[in-house]
Amino acid sequence: MSEPGDPTQAAGLRLGAVLGSGAVATVLRVEAADGRVFAGKRLHESHGQDSAAAQRFAQEAALLRGIRDDNIVAVYGVAEVEGAPLLLLELVEGPTLAQLIAREAPLGEARLARLAAGVARGLARAHAAGVIHRDLKPANILVAVGDRAKIADFGMARATSLAGVERSALTVLGTPDYMAPESLDPLAVDVRSDLYALGCILFEMATGRPPFTGATAFGVIEAHRRAAIPGLPDSFSAPLRALVASLLAKSPADRPQAAVQVAALLEQIAAGEAVALALPAAGVSGPACAGCGQPLVVELAVCMHCGLEVARVEAGRCTVLVSGPGEPGDKLDSALRARLIGWIAGNPGLCVVAGNLERAIPRVPFTLLTRVSEASGRGVVAALQRLGLEAELVHGGALRSRRMRKKAGALIGRTLAVVAASCAGVFNNRYIIFLLPLLILAAAGGATFGAVRKVTRSRALTPGKLAAPLREALAGVERVLPAIATARHRHGLRAVVRRSLALAPAGDAGAQEELAQAITAATAATGRLEALDRALAAGDMQRSDDAGRALLHERDTWAARLLSLTAALDAFQVRVVGAAARNSDEAALRELRAQVEALEEVQRGP
């Protein structure tokens, strides 16, 4: 890939045939007197006075200068050719990936995996150099001889660092068909946004169409944000389907964290090798929060997305009642009942008593839990109130509640009225008269039991035993979560927690301690990122004073370290899956320890 001398200073540069044209620039063949050939990107005359277009033109040269990779179109710099400035590029003889898809899609699995692996390798090189593409799409990928993918057109790229970026770098840019859900928030865009675009491209190579469509550009963007992730056809292998689904995860924290990991997986798939998949879940796997539908970390007593409390059933002497809305004896609203059933399903320590809630609509108040501690009960009451239900915590049995006694009394009255009506006309029967008190007592007892019976029961749990350091780290997460308002920061912390807990059963006590330190370091980083983003939002992100630059630089450092830590956990999981016979991998532990120490060093400061 090396060129003799600086191509921009080559003698006798002259323009040749037009190779392609876009909205802003035309690409032409450029020939040098010594026989070398290049491609040259020249702004349209209509954009000659467009300062934003000219700035992107210069930025591409600045960002890519010096980056040389087999999977990136080389950018040599700006040259003066026939009196006009143009961006001098490596000439790639071959179609764009968009043209290849239009002609040949759907592509076979081995071929699309090989092409995508090249794109991932190019992204890994760009990301390592501190560059995010931000407009990755088939039209910006060239296919050279031998099906070698080469990423082109970094005109919308920006540095991964926010410190010192121009205002245009923080605008919403991209092509809707390939824009990650977080693209509307420029602060949230990072290397994982490029990986999302790669997932869209993989889907298009496999099906001939992008994963999401809409009547308007905004409709497409909304589909990326809210529509269910489409799956690849069953004709593709399970590992490829899982990888694409993971790349298309709505939250960046739920995607693979590094392009190099994606490239390695794609190369294995292309070669037809057995793939040791260790991917984050693309959607909800396991219990989901009844309040927001996001996946729960069952070891925590709170949803990491919306903060809804999760029942932690500890033994005690209290009772939790669902007391409304409504008057005693009113039936519970069906929508609230469905929400309550969903919340119970999301609590691994609870299950619905058959028939008491799913098939019958209960009358309020009714008993939800009995014999729980006061702390457990308060948490459950708070969760029920956030679901729109009214709840009451009673010390002792259900009949200590005035509303429950009122309901029970009404049921007893109705039951006795039925008994009296049934016995009318037989009061001259001495046996009936003798048994009447017993019938009344039985009816009253049955009515009371019906009034107070609970609709759930506790379920035995056999979770993996967590070492004390992990339990302490999770307690720290619960303490910090209420102060973290930004969803992406909550998701980032959730990613570290879920990955660490998934690895905990595979590790010995020493590994669990390392994982606990990873959670603790991530918790501190998340809290600091939240505070920094709040400070930046309160001021002007573009201010050029020392204080503003210091805030942006610190934010960059924390964000990069947290991303590296999450990627290290992914790499650890790959090693564990690939070597199932071993409990842990010392090399992976060393890498994880290094990332934790790097975060702790940032926390200590200079």
Of residues 102 and 333, more confidence is placed in: 102
Measure the CA–CA gap between 342 and 101, rounded to whole angstroms: 43
Measure the CA–CA gap between 131 and 304, rounded to whole angstroms: 30
503, 575 contact by CB (below 8 A): no
CATH class of the domain comprising 97-270? mainly alpha
Domain with CATH 1.10.510.10 in the chain: 97-270
Q: How confident is the model at residue 292 (pLDDT cuts 50, 70, 90)?
A: confident
| pLDDT tens digit sequence for 496-511 | 998 888 887 755 667 7
Q: Is the pLDDT of residue 143 over 60?
A: yes
User: Under CATH, which number does the domain 7-89 receive?
Assistant: 3.30.200.20
Domain with CATH 3.30.200.20 in the chain: 7-89
Q: What is the mean pLDDT of the chain?
A: 79
- Choose the weakest-confidence range: 53-62, 295-304, 428-437: 428-437
| pLDDT tens digit sequence for 40-80 | 888 877 655 556 666 666 777 777 777 889 999 988 888 88
Q: Is the pLDDT of residue 330 over 90?
A: no
1-5 mean pLDDT = 52
Q: How confident is the model at residue 471 (pLDDT cuts 50, 70, 90)?
A: confident
The tokens for 410 are 């009404």
Of residues 594 and 448, more confidence is placed in: 594
pLDDT of residue 560: 86
- Choose the weakest-confidence range: 53-57, 160-164, 443-447, 520-524: 443-447
Measure the CA–CA gap between 30 and 89, rounded to whole angstroms: 9
Cα separation values, 153 from 40, 64, 122, Å? 12, 10, 13
Q: How confident is the model at residue 340 (pLDDT cuts 50, 70, 90)?
A: confident
Q: Is the pLDDT of residue 285 over 60?
A: no
pLDDT of residue 549: 72
Side by side, which strands form the sheet with 390-395?
366-372, 315-324, 390-395
pLDDT of residue 533: 85
- Choose the weakest-confidence range: 444-448, 473-477, 565-569: 444-448
Q: How confident is the model at residue 148 (pLDDT cuts 50, 70, 90)?
A: very high
pLDDT of residue 461: 43
Q: How confident is the model at residue 445 (pLDDT cuts 50, 70, 90)?
A: very low
Measure the CA–CA gap between 273 and 586, rounded to whole angstroms: 25
135 catalytically annotated:
yes
- Choose the weakest-confidence range: 130-139, 253-262, 432-441: 432-441
| pLDDT tens digit sequence for 151-207 | 998 877 766 666 555 555 556 677 899 999 998 887 788 899 999 999 999 999 999
Q: Is the pLDDT of residue 120 over 80?
A: yes
Indicate the burial class of 537 (C-beta count within 10 angstroms; 0-12, 13-18, 19 or more).
Answer: exposed
| pLDDT tens digit sequence for 541-589 | 555 566 777 787 888 888 888 888 888 888 888 777 666 434 446 666 6
Contacts 24+ apart (CB under 8 A), 211-220: 211/248, 212/177, 214/176, 217/176, 220/176, 220/177, 220/179
DSSP structure class, residue 521: H
pLDDT of residue 418: 57
Residue 366's φ and ψ, nearest 5 degrees, are -140, 160
pLDDT of residue 453: 55
Q: Is the pLDDT of residue 430 over 70?
A: no
Q: Which of 135, 153, 254, 533 is catalytic?
A: 135
Q: How confident is the model at residue 249 (pLDDT cuts 50, 70, 90)?
A: very high
Residue 375, number of CB atoms within 10 A of its CB: 13
Q: How confident is the model at residue 466 (pLDDT cuts 50, 70, 90)?
A: confident
Q: What percent of the chain has pLDDT over 90?
A: 25
Measure the CA–CA gap between 292 and 306, rounded to whole angstroms: 7
pLDDT of residue 230: 94
Q: Is the pLDDT of residue 605 over 70?
A: no
Q: Is the pLDDT of residue 253 over 80?
A: yes
Q: Is the pLDDT of residue 443 over 50?
A: no
